[in-house]
Amino acid sequence: MSSKTNQFPMRAVPGYYSSTPGIQIAIQTGADASDEDLQFFEQLGVEWAMVGIRNPEQHTLDFYKSLVKRFGDHGLKIYRLTNLGVHNVPEITLNLPGRDAKVEEFKQFIRNIGAAGIKYNTYAHMANGIWSSGRAEGRGGMEARRLDIKDAVGRWVDKTYEGELTHGRLYSEEELWDNYAYMIRQVAPVAEEAGVYIGVHPDDPPVYPLGGIPRCMFGNFAGYKKAMEIADSPNIGVCLCVGCWLEGGEIGMGVGVVDAIKHFAAKNQLFKVHFRNVSNPMPEPWVETLIDNGYQDMYAVMKALREVKFDGCIIPDHIPAMLGGPRVGTAYSIAYMRALVQAVNNEFGGAA
């Protein structure tokens, strides 16, 4: 695998980077976003969009190019496209029937987004989905995701996972590491050739084990470091979900989120950040919160990003439901993040 190093990908790709360097704020939306949605994003002043595609038939190069043009007409660049078919894939993670076909699908997806001018993809390596325990009331009665591992259920797309053995047996750490290495050593060279950077998302929640499957790679700091060493590629790095890291907490993850930012940034492996907060770390049940209402001082997180001269996108994520519909929480979160960015940039004498 290549041993070369790069600066953060968006700065390294001529013509792709934002008009303003440094910490960039992006929104999440769907491929079916309305013209009014796009106008709303323009009003928020964001330059970047993370775009989800739920219709499998739309995963074609021509459709990707049409999205780039449509969003571009509204002043938005697409930072990431989501392909649920190659994200949280049990066939890959557990070496189930169909693994090679899924690896090939993933490789072709990377080639296609690169050809469409999209230079980043988030990948998650969970075999049995994202686990939750329904909803809870937060500040002022807003609804938010909660988790109590005693009654949690995993879900991904149209599948549900529950019980002590979600896939019929216990899996070993050795199996999971072998399966990850098998995939990443095929995908990384394709990403390098396509000019696409892949950030691996933490396990959500980072519970060990979950449904008989050890979350040993992306559920703790030591696992992440080992996974990056196996990939051995400047195009494989981290999508650091602050919320997931906070779910595990400093004890569970091995280091706090600020130290994780500093480590991955020093390795040129910090590609994207999910900027969210939770009420408390495990093992106690937790609830997702608005940015300003959890146990983490998010100014400290933003300050760490500025200190390492992070040159990429941060997004609000898992926004609790507020009165007035989803645009209210989005606007609240974007405004709060923008204020934090301005504050840390002022403290350091300007953007990175």
3-state helix/strand/coil string of the chain:
CCCCCCCCHHHHCCCCCCCCCCCEEEEEEECCCCHHHHHHHHHHCCCEEEEEECCHHHCCHHHHHHHHHHHHCCCCEEEEEEEHHHCCCHHHHHCCCCHHHHHHHHHHHHHHHHHCCCCEEEECCCCCCEEECCEEECHHHCEEEEECCCCCEEEECCEEECCCCCCCCCCCHHHHHHHHHHHHHHHHHHHHHHCCEEEECCCCCCCCCECCECCCCCCCHHHHHHHHHHHCCCCEEEEEEHHHHHHHHHHHHCCCHHHHHHHHHHCCCEEEEEECEECCCCCCCEEEECHHHCCCCHHHHHHHHHHCCCCCEEEECCCCECCCCHHHHHHHHHHHHHHHHHHHHHHCCCCC
CATH number of 9-347: 3.20.20.150
- pLDDT beyond 70 at 7: no
In tens, the pLDDT along 49-83 reads 999 999 999 999 999 999 999 999 999 999 999 99
- pLDDT beyond 70 at 1: no
Q: How confident is the model at residue 17 (pLDDT cuts 50, 70, 90)?
A: low
Sequence ranges of the domains in the chain: 9-347
- pLDDT beyond 60 at 13: no
Q: Would you state the pLDDT for residue 15?
A: 41
In tens, the pLDDT along 118-164 reads 999 999 999 999 999 999 998 999 999 999 999 999 999 999 999 99
Q: Is the pTM of this model over 0.85?
A: yes
Q: Would you state the pLDDT for residue 14?
A: 39
Q: How confident is the model at residue 2 (pLDDT cuts 50, 70, 90)?
A: very low
Q: Would you state the pLDDT for residue 6?
A: 43
